[in-house]
């Protein structure tokens, strides 16, 4: 089968953001599903920030995971391993992976597989598993967001942000987005944001308190990291939570402890890829129960911005890394 590999650039000891790994299509052995696993014939794979980090040599692949990038796919069941009774040959599915998605076939634990929701095309379903699992596990399972809560979502028109706004609106929370342009502000509002703040022109912490009439954000979903740490604490409501899932603004920041203590606030963070199969199985079970009905009803759409064929994986990754990108980017397989 064909699969994408990240190979160290010529003349370099290891890849970096300045000299990222070369994107190469190679031939790999066709994987075989082990006990409890399924083999998926991949229709499409979703691109994610961790793919860029892996290409730059800055994201170690979890032990036992495939070195082939890609943590979410859609496709059809090609074969099942011993003990699997939940999936049949040919079933349209999407799945959360630890790696291996940029390939024509991939194996995964059957508990990390989801049915393609009603009304969603097979290819577009590749943009659902990782972002749905990320949003639900961080916002609800970990940060404890509840209906009625004010939730600040940074990067409101990105792959995670665009899904989070829709999910929070369907969950009867009150999402606020940060965006970088008037066009993105309008897009965030169309996705369900109560209000959207242009961080280039406005102090987002002040605006959050204005929008919430002094209450602040009960939960902040942060994909920026260090650069926003101090302002995130300023934006928090009493008893609020900042949950950091990305570090595009650096891994270090200033933490105003006195203000955090006065607000009885808390800061946490998480990753999804390195979690155990058992943990991922619980996340996927909750996503299927709580989020999949929102998608089936039309309250959430995948927000696919652009697709690329597998042969253009390098161009897809470069587009994904660009400032103007919104929504989800998919890599489509050509069997």
- pLDDT one-digit tens code per residue, 117-163: 999 999 999 999 999 999 999 999 999 999 999 999 999 999 999 99
The CA distances from residue 63 to 67, 72, 279, in Å, are 10, 18, 16
Top pLDDT among 251 and 107 is at: 107
The DSSP element (H or E) to which 283 belongs, if any, is helix 277-286
The pair of three-digit structure tokens given for residue 263, joined into one six-digit string: 């607000």
Instruction: Place 97 in a pLDDT band, splitting at 50, 70 and 90.
Output: very high
Instruction: Place 249 in a pLDDT band, splitting at 50, 70 and 90.
Output: confident
Residues with Cβ within 8 Å of residue 300, at least 6 apart in sequence: 163, 166, 167, 170, 291, 294
Of the listed ranges 6-10, 209-213, 236-240, 315-319, the one predicted with least confidence: 6-10
Structure confidence by residue, pLDDT tens digits, 280-332:
999 999 999 999 999 999 999 998 999 999 999 999 999 999 887 888 999 99
d(CA 181, CA 179) in angstroms, rounded, equals 6
d(CA 278, CA 302) in angstroms, rounded, equals 26
Q: Residue 38 CA to chain centroid, in angstroms? A: 23
- Its pTM stands at 0.94
Instruction: Place 235 in a pLDDT band, splitting at 50, 70 and 90.
Output: very high
Mean pLDDT, range 87-113, rounded to an integer: 98
d(CA 37, CA 31) in angstroms, rounded, equals 11
In this predicted structure, the answer to whether residue 247 has a pLDDT above a threshold of 90 is no
């Amino acid at each position: 089968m064909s699969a994408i590999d990240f190979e160290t650039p010529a003349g370099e000891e290891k890849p970096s953001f300045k000299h990222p790994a070369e994107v190469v299509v190679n031939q790999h052995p066709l994987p075989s599903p082990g006990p409890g696993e399924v083999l998926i014939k991949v229709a499409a794979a979703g691109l994610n920030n961790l793919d860029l980090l892996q290409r730059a040599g800055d994201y170690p692949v979890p032990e036992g995971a495939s070195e082939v990038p890609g943590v979410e796919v859609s496709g059809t069941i090609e074969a099942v391993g011993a003990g699997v009774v939940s999936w049949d040959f040919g079933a349209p599915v999407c799945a959360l992976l630890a790696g291996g998605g940029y390939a024509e076939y991939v194996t995964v634990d059957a508990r990390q597989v989801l049915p393609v929701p009603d009304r969603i095309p097979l290819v577009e379903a590749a943009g659902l598993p990782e972002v749905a699992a990320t949003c639900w596990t961080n916002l609800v399972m970990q940060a404890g967001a509840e209906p009625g809560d004010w939730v600040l979502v940074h990067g409101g028109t990105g792959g995670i942000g665009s899904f989070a706004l829709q999910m929070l609106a369907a969950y009867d929370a009150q999402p606020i987005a940060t965006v970088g342009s008037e066009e993105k502000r309008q897009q965030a509002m169309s996705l369900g944001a109560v209000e959207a703040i242009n961080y280039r022109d406005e102090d987002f912490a002040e605006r959050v308190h204005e929008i919430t009439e002094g209450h602040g954000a009960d939960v902040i979903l942060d994909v920026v990291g260090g650069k926003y740490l101090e302002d995130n604490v300023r934006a928090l409501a009493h008893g609020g939570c900042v949950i950091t899932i990305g570090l595009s603004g650096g891994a270090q920041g200033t933490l105003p402890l006195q203000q955090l203590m006065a607000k009885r606030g808390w800061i946490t963070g998480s990753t999804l890829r390195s979690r155990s199969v058992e943990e991922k199985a619980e996340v996927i079970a909750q996503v299927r129960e709580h989020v999949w009905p929102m998608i089936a009803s039309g309250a959430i759409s995948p927000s696919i911005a652009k697709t690329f064929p597998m042969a253009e994986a390098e161009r897809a990754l470069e587009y994904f890394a660009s400032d103007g990108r919104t929504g989800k980017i998919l890599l489509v397989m050509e069997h």
